[in-house]
Structure 1
Amino acid sequence: MRRSFARRAAVYGSAALMLLGPAAAIAQADPAPIEATALPNELVEALARDLQMSPERYLTDAARSQELARFAESAREKFAAVFSGVWLDPEGTPKVGLTEGEGYDTAREAAEEAGFTVEDTDRTETQLRDELKALNDWLATQPPAVADLVRGVAIDVVNNDVVLRTENVAGIQLPNFLQGARVLFAPAPLVPEPAAGELQPVADLAAPQALFGGDAYAALGAGEGLRCSLGFNAVDGSDRPLNITAGHCDPNRLSAGTQFASKVYQLIGEELGQHLGTFEKTRLDGHDYALIRPTGEAQSRFENNGVRVPLAAPLTITGVAEPVAGAPACKSGIRSGYSCGVVTSVGQTVDVGHRILEDGFSTNLCALQGDSGGTIVTGTLALGISSASNVGQFGMCEVAGVVSGLMGEAPELFATPIGVILAENPGLRVRTW
């Protein structure tokens, strides 16, 4: 599988950052401003705990990140010779990276007129993509003893360099022309939580009406039961309800969309409630997502645009966002509720648990088993679906933070951008009403 990654990364990795362009085309219209007081208490508490950030700052930074994303889309065409990327710094300052060259002054003026701060960089985005391609080409020539160590490649716009992820940092010796590439540890899969025992539906189990992103569900198929978190409520091209969750939450992926597709039930504590639907489409390798089609009896429960900690007040989703480095990001899931961090990298290609996650983004927030498939938001915008974590095996985020810190690491969650999923499924829309 590692050898497969080295070959496939050469195909996909060099174009990873181009994902920002197409995603902008499918983003929904700018929503009306949301007041900070409208954020759920649980989210406000997570922002203060994890980021020491006020709700006002959270909403402001999220909005600024999307202004940067729109500027980047234009800059890649107008200023390709000098443009090196966009990001928010830790103080929330919107940054535009530029490299000396033809058009630099014009690009700088455009960035500053838009209210951004220009950061001088050594390499353009084009040069970084070329370096990433050189890394991929080099990996494709290496023997399995070297290539099998590689678990991911990406461009880091903040540090203006290329990142290589590996299981054994000390085992990689890069050639001289790639000495600028940084080497980091690889992520681990974020696996669904297996059922503790045999799950059986309880016909008369009471349940609240509406179901939101972050609520619990159980997927039953191929003799296996998995516990996961619902993702964003959505509609297809015919305005029929769907839920967007993780592909690895489907225990019978090959049968998605058929009469043998895995069934989805509401999970209430340790009991199964209503049969909610089936997996209509599942994708795992490449992009990790699945579409749940509600039953006729349950579809009205998905007709909302909320995300929440289970059984709490929901956050209203008002649109779709692109991942931008430094943007605040918060996830919701059944095991650890809300946790917040920032986007640390975009355009990731990583190997997680014998599958390749392409076009993904990473964050420095905690996610545990059972949080799989849950929502990631920035401000009130849908950002991504939880896919892989390096601390998923721990029982609590507090423990995960301490243990990973002792190992010289930090919690890290990888995700599939919601824009990628929408672009791959024409007519699919995240509910904003």
Structure 2
Amino acid sequence: MDLKRLSSSLLFKIIVAIILGIICSFFFPDSLARVFVTFNELFGNFLGFFIPVLIFALITPAIAGLGRGAGKWLAVTTGIAYGSTVFAGLLAFGASSLLYPSLLRHQPMVDAVDVGEGALSSYFSIEMPAPFGVMTALLLSFTLGVAMTAVKSDTLYHTVRDLERVIMRVISRFIIPLLPIFIFGLFLSMGMNGNLTSTLTSFGTVLIIAILMTFILLVIQFAIAGAAAGRNPVRAFLNMLPAYGTALGTSSSAATIPVTYACTKRNGVAPTVAGFTVPLCATTHLSGSMLKISLFAFAIMYMNDMQLTFPMAIGFILMLGITMVAAPGVPGGAIMAATGLLASMLGFNDEQVALMIAAYIAIDSFGTACNVTGDGAIAMVVNKLAKGQISRSEQQETLGYEVDIIEEDEELDSRI
């Protein structure tokens, strides 16, 4: 890769944005930093508005393009995603049982701090309510997509394909170019947040273990996916790095969908398969979040000499894998969805739940990055399983229409 192409890639821009954000956090005055915080507030609100539309626009035509048997592949993908999430929880329990007795048994309980109180505020904010929720978008796209495979409706099919092209243009021309600025602002704000720094230092051992475990989980996922799909797992992982870097900055699986989609296709996944697996896994595959929440919860239990049995852990993990689906697309949403289970199933009090929230938010982006990168591994497996069994109804389209779709995909790929 030549220097010009490298410097124009999204991954390079994200790395530069992260480094500059951290460096500038040491000397930027609050008044200047709040300009970027304001931009992030507005851009983040727009993403919240846009994400449900994006999910509907990508999943509906992708499912409709699968032909008969679409429901089967939705079920297979969801099952694999849930299985991967549960496996991450079991991995966390195994690591906790192995490491925590020696590392945390005599470590005092740290105090919870409100990470939000130490953050800079924006100059102003504009509410941008979404036309419908993420779960509504998922259910609507599933319903229409599957129904369109049973009822031949060329007009409706071409309508959702047109919507897909419009959304892809918004992604390639507006969202992707602004992502590095958004990520710079996030790391600038994080670096200037005193309460966040306090949490990182006081809960440091567990946070480091959690970050290392996310990489171990990704190694396992891509080793399995590479073996199943017959592809080099190292090359497949490297192809997903732009998605990893984007999620590291956005802390949102749903907001990273455009980049994850482009990266997944680079691993030889058919566009139709990528079109439904990536948005679906963005809301159902939360292995990184499961790993972090489980590690933090078990750490607090060990530090407080609370009883933790395998049946208790497996029950919590199975329920958490379902509960987290209710909180896609929102940074920190997974831990918010888990608070009820922490209290009811593990016996956490308010202070312990507050510490869980603070610790999770402190490194939220690493769990999200693990989530979206793992989505690429699942897409490779589904693509291999579905090879030769998916009828592409796009083949029935006119040549000119297919060229338009290809051009939109190539423009997005060139920006990644």
Q: TM-score, structure 2 length as denominator? A: 0.23
Q: TM-score, structure 1 length as denominator? A: 0.23
Q: By percentage of residues, which structure has more strand?
A: 1
